[in-house]
């Protein structure tokens, strides 16, 4: 009986060890978990990035044509106050953090017009704006340019913290495919949601490319998404 108990204990330990080895996180697991956390909630997404992104990791969002600034849409609905400016962007040459836009190409900045402000469009075109800076009204013209930014871990987390938790999770989401090659992992995923101001539904497919360092932390992340497709589903058009 003692021998049987001994062998049962050894087999149990071996089985437990094999189970742990089989379920050890791989780069694919981390990449999949990153996307799933992003679809779960704001706190879950922030916690996951804090844990799995390398301290020197970089995030490379999709390129676009525009000014190169960000603002917090939830700070005061219907207003647009610059909270960050992308280095070496058109905005960096003439705008400052704290600037508050009052009109863009003659369109007043308010809650009803937020979707009509044409910061994006053909590169090189001048966009005439009025804004408030230190209590003074200014007229500023900015030529759109190609924005190709990248962000540190700290900047990624700060951007995430400024997001609206109530609008974070889409109505539907799923991961279509996960593929990897050594330290590189690709995740193709899809989401469906309803745009708040218009009440129109939309869907989008995105591709994220992760690279990992030797410690299994995310060293870089790039993404491509169907931004234009989403706009077209809301009735917007892009033309010359």
Write down the pTM of the prediction: 0.75
Q: How confident is the model at residue 149 (pLDDT cuts 50, 70, 90)?
A: confident
Report the alpha-carbon distance of residue 117 to residue 121 in Å, rounded.
11
pLDDT category at 213 given cuts 50, 70, 90 is very high
Q: Give the confidence band of 239 by pLDDT, cuts at 50, 70, 90.
A: low
- The string of DSSP codes covering 18-71 is HHHHHTS--HHHHHHHHHHHHHH-HHHHHHHHHHHEEEEEEEEPPPEEE--EEE
What CATH class does 64-146 carry? mainly beta
> pLDDT for 1-56, tens place per residue?
444 344 344 444 444 444 444 445 799 999 999 999 999 999 999 999 999 999 99
Q: What would the mean pLDDT of 153-163 be, rounded to a whole number?
A: 90
pLDDT per position as a tens digit, 71-84: 877 778 788 999 88
**What class is the 25-61+150-233 domain?**
alpha beta
26-31: list long-range contacts, CB under 8 Å, 24+ apart: 27/180, 27/183, 27/185, 27/210, 27/212, 27/216, 28/178, 28/180, 28/185, 30/185, 30/210, 30/212, 30/216, 30/218, 31/178, 31/180, 31/185, 31/187, 31/208, 31/210, 31/218
CA distance from start to end of the chain: 85
**Mean pLDDT over all residues of the chain?**
86
Cα-based distances in Å from 64 to 225, 227, 238: 11, 10, 13
Residue boundaries of the structural domains of the chain:
25-61+150-233, 64-146
pLDDT top residue among 199 and 169? 169
């Amino acid at each position: 009986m003692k021998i049987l108990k001994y062998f049962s204990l050894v087999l149990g330990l071996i089985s437990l060890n094999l189970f742990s080895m089989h379920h050890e996180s791989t780069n694919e697991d981390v990449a999949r978990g990153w996307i799933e956390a992003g679809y779960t909630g704001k706190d879950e997404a922030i916690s996951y990035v804090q844990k799995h992104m390398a301290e020197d990791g970089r995030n490379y969002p999709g390129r676009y044509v525009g000014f190169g600034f960000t603002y917090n849409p939830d700070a005061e609905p219907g207003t647009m106050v610059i909270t960050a400016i992308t280095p070496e962007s058109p905005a960096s040459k003439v705008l400052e953090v704290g600037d508050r836009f009052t009109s863009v190409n003659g369109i007043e900045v308010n809650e009803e017009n937020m979707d009509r402000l044409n910061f994006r469009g053909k590169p090189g075109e001048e966009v005439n704006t009025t804004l408030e800076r230190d209590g003074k009204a200014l007229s500023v013209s900015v030529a759109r340019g190609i924005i190709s930014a990248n962000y540190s871990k700290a900047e990624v987390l700060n951007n995430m913290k400024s997001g609206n938790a109530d609008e974070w999770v889409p109505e539907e989401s799923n991961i279509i495919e996960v593929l990897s090659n050594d330290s590189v992992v690709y995740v193709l995923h899809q989401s469906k949601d309803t745009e708040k101001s218009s009440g129109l539904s939309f869907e989008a497919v995105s591709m994220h490319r992760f690279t990992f360092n030797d410690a299994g932390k995310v060293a870089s992340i790039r993404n491509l998404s169907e931004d234009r497709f989403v706009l077209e589903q809301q009735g917007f058009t892009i033309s010359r």
